[in-house]
Amino acid sequence: MTAPKLALSEQAAADITADVVVVGTVQQDGDGFTLAPGADAVDAAFDGSLVDVLTSLGATGKAEEVVKLPTLGKLKAGVVLAVGLGKQDPTSEQVRRAAGAAARALSGVKRAHNLLSQVDLQAAVEGTVLGAYTFTEYKSDAGDGPVGRVDFAAENSKENKATLKAATAIAEAVSTARDLINTPPNDLFPASFADRAAKLGEAAGLTVEVLDEKALRRGGFGGILGVGSGSSRLPRLVRLSYKGPKASKKVALVGKGITFDTGGISLKPPANMEEMTSDMSGAAAVVASVVLAAKLKYPLEVIATVPIAENMPSGTSYRPGDVLTMYGGKTVEVLNTDAEGRLILADAIVRAGEDNPDYLIETATLTGAQLVALGKRTAGVMGSDDFRDRVARIGQAVGENSWAMPLPDELRGDLDSRIADLANVTGHRWGGMLAAGHFLKEFVPADLEWAHIDVAGPAYNSGGAFGYTARGGTGVPVRTIAAVLADIAENG
């Protein structure tokens, strides 16, 4: 990841020395559009006719619309880039998406001055960093690269400096998760992922523990070992611990780290299987989140428990019909080896529970049923009622769409096994995401406030770029986790 340099600027529009000035446009209820706050001086340089000129170039104010206009000497900057915010009274997410669209359009530009910060500084910063994101490590020609520097029009106050720092750190954490997700599985496998997570943790001053296959076997982590048994790349469990100043609450984070998922013996169809490089998105998110907590010095204790395995078919693979003894002693009959994420998560959840946390947040690309129920851009949140709703509400507030989902009692009995404590899937296709939530609940300590975020769809964008979201790994739900941690730090 190569991110632009960011700064605050109180410079007047007429004196801006940037190559491009970014202004926002806002749709009116009827026809036409207006300029977003902060664009007055730019409009004055065009003698009050900027809206008319942009209209003649096809601008409408539609969300994420980008129109470029040469200044012809009216400003020191050579180009005005107008980006649509969409409907009136723009939300933070509208600003974030507009800033992302603008950042993508600024590829190759040396310096830009962004006036969207006059609407929402934090959203403008986050959208710019994320919109400028590119993953070019495996490209022989990386192209123009992202915009080199972006100055945000804002008073250089202590409060704005803190906002700039926090927004940059959050966006960089998302980018870290994206980098991990986008790294191909021949380079990101359990041992290498564990090494990268450990290095990130050590650099942030975290306490790091890595269990290899021998330590997993001694500890009785049957779920992780079972799923990883078919691969020559043996599994790992990573623990990253942070204790902030005056920590008042302890939060456990757990994320699914399947570095590649073939489905195992229950082999997936070959179409689009390459996207299963993203099956470790949950793990990437929690690694990035605990590092972020340390960078922002949250007054919390945060412990990430990250199970990592590769699910492959071979002569040593676990099979449908096998019974695994999980960490903590429960037994699970395997009916489908492609329902592997819940098996490694179960081990990690039990281990995380031994730390006696106040809250548990775990996330995974868990079920295809999540996409059927909620689509590609909305995560499903399950768990204890109050905390589930709190996490879903916060996710919506930060622009990572999420929806609270129930755990209907009648589905739990469908996980009963003939020979073990429970089976890893039901015998039908109904409520697959909810049944997976029931499975995980069996391993959550009683009375622990917990939430599971199923990001099977939102974690990976297989289509074209939009807003601040590039093609490939999205980094969802890092911003949700960050906001939940901040909320816990403030409100308990």
Amino acid at 112: A
**Whole-angstrom distance, CA of residue 21 vs CA of residue 5:** 16
Region label for 145, one of left (φ > 0), alpha (ψ between -120 and 50) or beta (otherwise): left
Region label for 76, one of left (φ > 0), alpha (ψ between -120 and 50) or beta (otherwise): alpha
**Whole-angstrom distance, CA of residue 264 vs CA of residue 44:** 64
| Residues near 25 by beta carbon (within 8 Å), at least 6 away in sequence | 33, 34, 35, 36, 54, 59, 60, 61, 65, 82, 83, 84, 85
**Token pair recorded at residue 90:** 């723009």
Q: Kindly report the CA angle at 423 between 332 and 404, in degrees rounded to 5?
A: 110
**Whole-angstrom distance, CA of residue 307 vs CA of residue 346:** 9
* C-alpha torsion angle, residues 344, 347, 349, 355 (rounded to 10): -140
Q: Which of 74, 268, 295, 330 is catalytic?
A: 268
Q: b vs e for 288-311, b when ≥16 Cβ sit within 10 Å of the residue's Cβ?
A: bbbbbbbbbebebbbbbbbbbbbb
**Whole-angstrom distance, CA of residue 476 vs CA of residue 377:** 10
Q: Which of 196, 342, 351, 390 is catalytic?
A: 342
H or E stretch at 122? helix 121-131
**Whole-angstrom distance, CA of residue 231 vs CA of residue 246:** 43
Cα of first residue to Cα of last residue in the chain, in angstroms, is 34
| Residues near 164 by beta carbon (within 8 Å), at least 6 away in sequence | 6, 7, 8, 121, 125, 152, 154
**Catalytic residue status for 268:** yes
* Residue carrying structure tokens 């403030």: 490
CA atoms within 13 A on the CB side of 466: 10
**Catalytic residue status for 412:** no
Residues designated as active site: 268, 342
